[in-house]
Amino acid sequence: MEVVLPLGIANYFDVSLFFDYNLALINASLITLLIVIAFFRMGPRWLYMVIILLFHLQYVIRFSQGEIPHSQNLIGMSVFCLAIGAIFFPGQKQMPRFVMGSIIFFIGLGYTSAFFAKLIGTGINWYDGRHLWLWISEKSIDILSREGVYNPNLLQQMALGSTAVASIILLIGWLTEFIGFTMWWKKLRPYTVTLLIGMHFGITLTMNIRFDAFVIQLILVGYPWYRVIDTYLKTTPEMIKRWA
């Protein structure tokens, strides 16, 4: 196997070595072990920094064989926030606030910047329904080559049958990306995240692009789960207090 898409450190040394001898699996296992150790705070504060370096190596190894989902970027960014938090904000109350705040900040920034990237790259006509026709056609070729048959669903049929419908679908998704920054505010966050999740489902239905892992991550960080815990747990078990 050869490197198809060199990225990051793959531009400086040949990562094809990791395609043999199960080295990529060994690296993934090491990352998993170190994550568990760091999660329970049994290692040094700089352990997350080692993890992010190994994770970047794993990312480069995988990416060199073809593009991978956005969810991997979010995981890597989250680990990086943990690394910074563990070193500079090691307190039991400071670190969770910094890590969650940083993750939420970058997610919101990512969505809103995606809106402006489309605006700058294509212009105000990005939501032209004919663009959606092109993307649906591209994905249909992938599905046809993989499964031997392609049957558009109802939403795809509606989009392909009307430029106006296709344009409205793109415009709704585009504007939803724009309001991504509103998740920075705690009161708006659940509503913004719900709209973003709906947007991802819309992308799946129209272009057959799945965001399963990314949606799960949005659910984990976007909703006030602490209220559920506070409601149903009157007292925190000592074991949880010790590791929190």
> Domain spans of the chain?
113-243
Considering the chain, what percentage of its residues have pLDDT values greater than 70? 92
Distance, in Å, from the CA atom of 116 to the CA atom of 178, rounded to the nearest integer, reads: 8
Encoded tokens for 40: 């329970």
Report the SS3 class of residue 239: helix
Give the pLDDT confidence of 35-70 residue by residue, as tens digits: 999 988 888 889 999 999 999 888 888 887 776 667
Work out the average pLDDT over 15-43: 88
Lowest mean pLDDT among 23-32, 37-46, 173-182, 196-205: 37-46
pLDDT for 12 beyond 70 = yes
DSSP, collapsed to helix, strand or coil, labels residue 203 as: helix
- Name the token pair of 109: 């920034």
The secondary structure of 35-84 as a DSSP string is HHHHHTT-S-TTHHHHHHHHHHHHHHHHHTTS---HHHHHHHHHHHHHHH
Report helix, strand or coil for 90: coil
Least-confidence region, from 108-117, 163-172, 230-239: 230-239
